Structure 1
Amino acid sequence: MQTLRTPSDAKLRRYSGFLAHASLLLAVLIPGSVLFAWIDMPDEMVRRAGLPPDTQSALWQLAFGALIALSPACLLSAALHAARRCFLLFHRGVYLTVEVVCALRAFGGRVAMASFASVIVPPLLSLLLSIGNPPGSRALTFALSSSTLLGLLVGGTLWALAAVMARAVAMADEHAQFV
């Protein structure tokens, strides 16, 4: 039989406070770094889209490309804000409540959406950035990585854990009414 070790309440609160700060920092840095890369190195971003090096994209294409590339980063930022809400609740000693369930569900769902968006972005970018190329040199690229699949799995797992926690919260509320 396995025993469950739980950290002390003070340790969990400290760790949760640290994770809340880290989540906020990453929520700002991730979209900021994507935007900076598109502004500072547009040719590199075109190359990373899988297009030939001689592809010349217009400024409007690069601007729309940056917006498209920002979508997974913004979804991930929203996921990190939901995680931060969850960690702040833990930091205050709030563990099994509707608020925690909602934050965890939002975190999982948004991580999964960000991973799904990262599957859609490369084909959209390649089409957009190569639209001005002559016929025969336009491109359509696809990208699927293990990190994308892991993101979908982790997001789905967190969402499912939140659903289980929602049942536990409902059961705890029901039992509290009998006492």
Structure 2
Amino acid sequence: MHDVAELRRLGRLMQHIVLGVGLLIALAVIWLVLGVFGEQARFEGLVRNGLSLSGPLTFTPSAVGATIVLMAVQFGLLAAALYCVWRMFGAFAAEEPLSVESAHWLRRASLAFVAVAGGSIVLQALMILVLTLGNPPGQKALSIGFGSSELLALLIACVMYMAGRLMAVAAEVRAEQRDFV
């Protein structure tokens, strides 16, 4: 029983940490919007650094708008993933940590992190495409990058998914055992 109480305490602690991280990310996005989007040169520098590009980019109003929308989509995916992790830790902090609900939120979090990693690859390629569409012929670009960080994120998401499936089976077995007694 002591282990279950410790798991609940750790679940509550991790839920607070995830909430804090989520708030820090939201504050960073707000700071970014207020400090960078209003100044063209800073926005261009941020985009170039973020995409690791040095070639010609065209920052037309429509390209900037599309880039901002794509950044917002990426932030939305990350926010959804953090919400799922927050709910998962909340389920761990509940009366019965080993439950179908815990497994459900663990699987959802894993799928959300797959969306974050996959979205990062696709959205970055779309940003590059949008920002080079206004370039002269021969200078338009479509670049798809897949690095070790995306691979690691996908691997961890797959491990989380399998752990969620395993947890669901364990929760069902535990429920059956309780019905026996």
Aligned partners of 1:89 and 1:134: how far apart in 2? 54
Aligned partners of 1:61 and 1:25: how far apart in 2? 33
User: Does 2:12 correspond to 1:17?
Assistant: yes
The aligned counterpart of 2:164 is: 162
Aligned CA distance change for structure 1 residues 52 and 7 (closer, same or farther; 3 Å) = farther
The aligned counterpart of 1:47 is: 48
Q: CA deviation at 1:174?
A: 2.1
The aligned counterpart of 2:78 is: 76
Aligned partners of 1:172 and 1:148: how far apart in 2? 36
SS at match of 2:37: helix
Aligned CA distance change for structure 1 residues 178 and 11 (closer, same or farther; 3 Å) = closer
The aligned counterpart of 2:28 is: 33
Residue 127 of structure 1 contacts residue 140 of structure 1 at CA under 8 Å; is this kept in 2? yes
The aligned counterpart of 2:125 is: 123
Q: CA deviation at 1:58?
A: 1.2
Structure 2 unpaired stretches of 5+? none
Q: Deviations over 1:61-101 (max 9, x none)?
A: 11211221233332122111111112123233431111111
Q: CA deviation at 1:9?
A: 4.6
> Which amino acid in the other structure matches residue 87 of structure 2?
R
The aligned counterpart of 1:103 is: 105
Q: What RMSD over aligned residues (CA atoms) do the two structures have, in Å? A: 2.4
Aligned CA distance change for structure 1 residues 100 and 27 (closer, same or farther; 3 Å) = same
Q: CA deviation at 1:161?
A: 0.6
Residue 27 of structure 1 contacts residue 78 of structure 1 at CA under 8 Å; is this kept in 2? no
Aligned partners of 2:175 and 2:74: how far apart in 1? 37
Q: CA deviation at 1:28?
A: 3.8
Aligned CA distance change for structure 1 residues 79 and 11 (closer, same or farther; 3 Å) = same
Indicate the percent of aligned positions where both proteins have the same amino acid: 28
Report which stretch shifted further, 40-49 or 125-134: 40-49
How many residues align structurally? 174
Residue 104 of structure 1 contacts residue 162 of structure 1 at CA under 8 Å; is this kept in 2? yes
Residue 58 of structure 2 contacts residue 133 of structure 2 at CA under 8 Å; is this kept in 1? no
SS at match of 2:76: helix
Residue 4 of structure 2 contacts residue 97 of structure 2 at CA under 8 Å; is this kept in 1? no
SS at match of 2:12: helix
Residue 74 of structure 2 contacts residue 116 of structure 2 at CA under 8 Å; is this kept in 1? yes
Where do 1:75-94 residues align within 5 Å?
75-94=77-96
Q: CA deviation at 1:34?
A: 4.8
